[in-house]
Amino acid sequence: MSLSTDPAAQVTGPVAALIAAGRQLVEAGLSPGSSGNVSVRDGDRVLISGTGTSLGRLTPDGIAEVSLDGTHLGGARSSKETPLHTAFYRREDGYRAVVHVHSPHAVALACLAPWAAHNAVPPLTPYFVMRVGQAPLLPYRHPGDPALGDDLLAAPWPLRAALLANHGAVVAGASLDEAVDRATELEEACRIALLTAGSERRELASDRIRELADRWGSPWTPEP
């Protein structure tokens, strides 16, 4: 297929949505080079960006189709991080899109000790609590290790985002727009955490966090 300057112009449906989401992530500075991957669930199949694909230049030929257990069904060779994506879909049926990025501030915060066991990111702004909720730090694994998906499935807290130690971030949503928005908000929360590191920070009070989480339906586990 010959493509115009707009790679989503000649396709529709979930393929077009994936292409647009990839471009949005690159334009926001969240997916440098050929890093990162994005997927969308379409019934019992998952469409995911292919391995080594630059999300800003994603085309229909660069998209793979896999089953919910990761079996390749067609298209490009699927991303090595496919187990991470399918784990989110298997963890909660309501998720329809997953974004995994190596955005700089998320990677930097993932190289530090977490704020708490259930959340790597200190609760400094209401928007992080409202739009993302807690984002635990998962153990380090080599990129592409299927155990990344196992760790996500086994996490004992409710979540729709996580940091991967020394690696990046993974975020899920009910739509691609929601997943991209959450990835953007998580990156901003990580940036603010790094900007305020070493200072006497004023974190949100636990009762305020609970109010926000309850009002917006965000996952948040109270500290013991």
Catalytic annotation, residues: 81, 127
Distance between CA atoms of 84 and 99, rounded to whole angstroms? 10
Query: Residue 123: which residues within 8 A CB-CB, separation 6 or more?
Result: 115, 129, 203, 204, 209
Q: Across-strand partners of 39? A: 48, 98
Between CA 216 and CA 204 the distance in angstroms is: 16
Q: Walk across the sheet containing 37-42 and list its strands.
A: 72-75, 63-67, 45-49, 37-42, 97-101, 168-173, 161-164, 137-138
